[in-house]
Structure 1
Amino acid sequence: MNPADALPEDLAGESRFQLLTRLGFAGRGFLYIVIGLLVILAGRTEDLTGALEYLGHGLGKVLLVVLAAGLAVYGLWRLTDAAFGIESGRRHAKAHRKRIAAATSGVIYGFLSYKAVLILLSQRIGDHEPQQHASAALHLPGGEVFVWIASAILLGAAIAQFVKVRKCDFLRALDCDERQKVWIKWLGRVGYSARGIIFLIIAWLLALAALHRRAAEAGGLEEALDAMHPVVRASVAAGLIVFGVLSLVEARFRRIHRPPPVDHVAEKVVEAVRG
């Protein structure tokens, strides 16, 4: 949504939902910082789930409770954006692409929150999830097509990261002055570049799995880091730490619109059912 289109009450004050969404931004940032530090300081590669498991011991469980709540609300906020365009907008050509991206992000972070709860309940999270998902797809008739589609989606996500690097449009949603935006811009350029590289490698791994019909060749963030030369891996890990810092900055300065009231949501659902 263009800030000029926002109603005054959308931006007035902070609801609990908005505050928890900021906590979700902070939680996302903290996980990326943990992943980067594990690579640089311990030579250990993890994905977002692995970072949650790493934190799920001792006093880390207290932090995990906070992360679970923040990630759940962050995911809900992204899904609300996908449904109603409260951030992505409704009146321009790019809105549909942004709302699809918001839906994808909402599902991912909602699922991460669910995993955090499982870890808190001392339940084991399955290893090698990307390979498991690829294997399930490849066992379907024409299943390699689904893996190719997933690879194409990740390629599109990588391109989107690099577009952010060039345009720096992430700055538009921040409520801070121009001097602050000078250094925040470079946080974004470094952080989104690192994410773009990760998405490119994941897309490549999925393409190999589809081409050879071998689920073992698929991979996620952890496998993408493992596929890199050690020097490149350390550089990308540093970039992921910078992306985490950017997320912490967004937790402070991101303009977050309130979700529509429940009665408005109910009206939209009734309209959709009636066709």
Structure 2
Amino acid sequence: MKPSEALPDDLAGESRFQLLTRLGFAARGLLYILIAALVILAGRTEDLTGALEYVGHGIGKLLITVLGAGMAVYGLWHLTDALFGIESGRHHWKAWRKRIISAGSGAIYLYLAYKTVWIVFAGRFGGNETQSRTADALQLQGGELFVLIAAAILFGTAIGQFFKVARCNFLDPLDCTEHQKRWIKWLGRAGYSARGVIFLVVAWLLAQSALHHNAAEAGGLEQALDFFSRDTRGWVAAGLALFGVLSLVEARYRRIHRPPPVEEVADMVAEKLER
């Protein structure tokens, strides 16, 4: 965007919420870089919670407190988009699809923020949550179907990551020069490819656990990284690190719209109740 171009009212003079959302993008980026560094430098595979626990001692508690605050705001930003369409739009089917995805992302990152609070005060959060949740689901009537549906959703998420690789639409919300976008494009392609591969493996692990009625076969990010050989794992981790760098780029350059004012929200709620 050229300096002479006027910014919309919801972008000009960024609010505190918008600035904190940038902290959220940065927190997401640092977390992915940490996970990748543990794989490449220490030979450790951790999920998002494990990475937080790894640094959750001594001065590391200050770091994960900052990360937790960032993820909380990032989650709230996604939920705000889901409710009001401030980023996704409002009145077409693609907007509703994006808003549903935003709702899911918001819930996940708010849960991660909750985990950071637990880790700061308790030191650890718990065991393998994916396997625990899968075991609970498999005990239900028709539980295998529920797990297969979850696997299908993750498979669809993986395909969505690969669409981003092909279309490079992650560049659209960035306020930077075309020269900068040329290298950001390849950064994003590598990062989203790695994320897509991880989602595919997690979907496969869930599907196997459903078909074999064995929760121990399910897994999250940590088990997905363990799925690969040592050399391949390093390349996938490098891709996740690049996704983390992309998140830091987004923290700097992404256009972030303000949420609607309280008065407008109240009017929208009143209008819905009158129908």
TM-score with structure 2 setting the length: 0.95
Aligned twin of 1:228: 228
1:52-67 equivalences under 5 Å are: 52-67=52-67
Residue type at the aligned position of 1:245: V
Query: For the residues of structure 2 that align with 1:82 and 1:259, how far apart are their CA atoms?
Result: 11
What's 2:3 paired with? none
Mapped to 1, the partners of 2:274 and 2:137 lie a distance apart of: 34
In the TM superposition, 1:7-156 aligns within 5 A as 8-156=8-156
- Structure 1 residue 7 displacement after superposition: 8.3
Residue type of the alignment partner of 1:129: E
RMSD of aligned C-alpha atoms? 1.3
The answer to whether the Cα contact below 8 Å between 2:53 and 2:124 also exists between their aligned partners in 1 is no
CA positional deviation for 1:273: 3.6
* CA apart distance, 1:94: 1.2
Query: What residue is the counterpart of 1:3 in the other structure?
Result: none
Identity, in percent, stands at: 68
Indicate whether 1:268 and 2:268 are aligned.
Answer: yes
Q: What residue identity is the alignment partner of 2:259?
A: P
Letter in 1 for 2:225: L
What 5-or-longer segments of structure 2 have no aligned partner? 1-5
- Following the alignment from structure 1 to structure 2, what is the Cα–Cα distance between the partners of residues 7 and 251? 18
Partner of 2:165: 165
The amino acid that maps onto 2:234 is: A
Name the CA distance, whole Å, in 2 between partners of 1:100 and 1:63. 31
1: CA distance between counterparts of 2:151 and 2:272?
A: 32
Question: Which letter maps to 2:142?
Answer: G
- Find the residue that maps to 2:172 and give its secondary structure: helix
AA aligned to 1:58 is G
Whole-angstrom CA distance in 1 between matches of 2:265 and 2:107: 19
Q: Which residue does 1:242 correspond to in 2?
A: 242
SS at match of 1:10: coil
Please name the residue that 1:204 is paired with.
204
TM-score between both structures, scaled by the size of structure 1: 0.95
